[in-house]
Structure 1
Amino acid sequence: MTTYSVDEFLSRTKQQITSTDSFALQSERILEVNLDGEIWSKMGSMISYQGTIRFERERILEHGLGRAFKKSFTSEGQELMKATGNGRLFLADQGKRITILELGNQQITVNGNDLLAFEPTVEWDIEMMRKMAGLMSGGLFNVTLNGRGKVAITTYFEPLTLEVTPDQPVHTDPTATVAWSGDLKPEFHTDISYRTFLGKGSGESIQMKFTGSGFVIVQPGFEVE
């Protein structure tokens, strides 16, 4: 056990001077948002703020009737929070590691549980994965993001990015799958056998298969269904 004096502790844990970028990392697990306007974030992710910031729950028709229907169709739709004002906003999600991505007019699809925040310039929509209905309780909904702007995603520990090529598909466990590039469309496979019921069987019975050209981001921890 390490013991610090008060001054040593303050020195080691005090707020760092970061850049003026809209999104920056105070640490691997804390996102700092230099807010001047508004951003969208995962409900319940605010841990602190400085300045004048107002928080609003996403209204039912905030993003159109189509998305409202998708969210009401199942409880899996991720609820969002809008932060408006000026100041520094600090976000986190259960101590998960945070990665900031600049989309640059590219498209990615992110597991709803792993989406922490995104700038208002980013276009997004909820993707319903109907083939998963009845197979597992989670993972039915993902969020597709595209356009320009920053997106913050979270992972349990360090993420791993796997390249998908036409001659080298990638198979993943749905609960370990964080995100994938926009050109990929996963297929779902089941392998119900005697072996499925041995051990934990977290990903043996249901797998995601990615074919084509692109990338898949996975994490070494698992989302709890």
Structure 2
Amino acid sequence: MQSPLFAYTEQQSQDRYAVQNPQLLRVALTGHDDVLARKGAMVAYQGLIEFDGEYESHGQRQTRAVTGEGLDLMRCSGQGTVYLANLAQYIHVVDVDHDGMTVDGDYVLALDSALHSEVVAVDSEYGISGSGKYQLNISGRGKVALMTSGQPLMMEVTPDKYVNADADAVVAWSSALRVQMQAQTHSSGVRRRRGSTGEGWELSFLGQGFALVQPSEVMPPQHAEIGQGLAAQYGVGGNGAYGQNQANDWSR
């Protein structure tokens, strides 16, 4: 059998995390350190690998119910190779060090089991209930695989060069940065989007570090309903969907 498809065979690597192609992650397991991956993200594996639901404490379940933020994970253990992907998102491996990283949990594909995560709040400067944003702070030493809709932009933040970004386009940032959620608007109702521009809430980053921004203001919804009614129009979950998108094409 011959086909151009044979150009997409497995890429050999000595690295624990290796990007097989821009939208597929290869993780090598040696039987010692487990990997926590997004539930349902496994697309293939080789070797003696076990998959188990990751335990979530009562406090973590309560936090998720209140904030909507958290990680829905499975534990991958054993010896072999696991291939992970989610909705053909672009995948990026990040080394987390003592500085830590703050990330939107929707964009986490996998992480080392030794890393610690906790929910943190980014408050609105207007103090309006419900207008803030909750994120995950990941600390410790290890690797995290992030996902973006399209190729992202890594923006450097310095004391003399702060960065503003659309709150729905921000994927992650250095935990050492000072962050505030704000809406620049000329209207008296700060809940409204900025005039007729279509722009709304933004995050302002100050200090020394980096902010990762994707070229899309939302991630494709995880469990969108297609059909009639509000559930189909807005989707199930925090990101929404469009019922007319029958082909599940999120590139347009």
Structure 2 unaligned blocks of 5 or more: 220-238, 240-252
Partners of 1:22 and 1:163 in 2: how far apart? 27
Q: CA 1:40 to 1:95, structure 2 compared with 1: closer, same or farther past 3 Å?
A: same
Q: CA deviation at 1:207?
A: 0.9
Matched to 1:73, the amino acid is: V
CA displacement 1:27-55 (0-9 Å, x = unmatched): 11100010124111112211111122222
Using the size of structure 1 for normalisation, the TM-score is: 0.83
Tell me the residue number matched to 2:196. 198
Q: What is residue 96 of structure 1 aligned with on the other side? A: 89
1:3 alignment partner in structure 2: none
Post-superposition Cα deviations, 1:109-142, rounded to whole Å, max 9, x if no partner, equal 1111111111122222222345485238xxx332
Q: Give the 5 Å matches for 1:67-78.
A: 67-78=60-71
Residue 29 (structure 2) aligned to one of 35, 38, 55: 35
Residues 75 and 195 of structure 1: CA distance in aligned 2, closer, same or farther (over 3 Å): closer
Q: How far 1:168 moved relative to its partner?
A: 2.0
Is 1:25 aligned with 2:45? no
- Structure 1 pair 169/10, CA: closer, same or farther in 2 (3 Å)? closer
C-alpha contact 1:103 1:149 (8 A) present in aligned 2: yes
> Percentage identity across aligned positions?
32
Structure 2 residue aligned with 1:148: 141
The answer on 1:52 being equivalent to 2:48 is yes
Task: Pick from 159, 162, 165 the counterpart of residue 169 of structure 1.
Answer: 162
Q: 1:126 to 1:24 in 2, by over 3 A?
A: same
Q: Is the CA contact (8 Å cut-off) linking 1:77 and 1:141 kept in structure 2?
A: no
The structure-2 alpha-carbon separation of the partners of 1:104 and 1:207, relative to structure 1 and needing over 3 Å to count, comes to: closer
Aligned position for 1:215: 210
Q: Report the Cα offset of residue 186 of structure 1.
A: 1.4
Greater percentage in strand: 1
Shift, 1:195, TM fit: 6.9
Instruction: Report 1:59-70 matches (<5 A).
Output: 59-61=55-57, 65-70=58-63
**In structure 1, what is the equivalent of residue 10 of structure 2?**
15
Distance in 2, Cα, partners of 1:66 & 1:219: 31
2:152 corresponds to: 159
Structure 1: which amino acid aligns with 2:96? Answer: L
Greater Cα shift, 188-197 or 215-224: 188-197
Unaligned runs of 5+ in 1: 1-5
Distance 1:74 1:195, change over 3 A: closer
Q: Aligned residue for 1:127?
A: 120
Give the TM-score normalised by structure 2.
Answer: 0.75
What is the one-letter code of the residue matched to 1:44? Answer: G
User: Structure 2: how far apart are the matches of 1:130 and 1:170?
Assistant: 17
**Deviations for 1:8-45, whole angstroms, at most 9, x for unmatched residues?**
234222222x2222111111110001012411111221
Distance in structure 1 (CA, Å) of the matches to 2:62 and 2:10: 41
CA distance in 2: counterparts of 1:9 and 1:179, whole angstroms? 36
> SS at 2:7's partner residue?
helix
Aligned length: 210
Q: CA 1:53 to 1:128, structure 2 compared with 1: closer, same or farther past 3 Å?
A: farther
What code does the residue aligned with 1:85 have?
A: G
Runs of 4+ more than 6 Å apart: none
**Cα distance in 1, alignment partners of residues 5 and 209 from structure 2:** 44
Distance 2:54 2:218 in 1: 24
Q: What's the offset of the Cα at 1:181?
A: 0.6
Q: Which residue of 1 aligns with 2:109?
A: 116
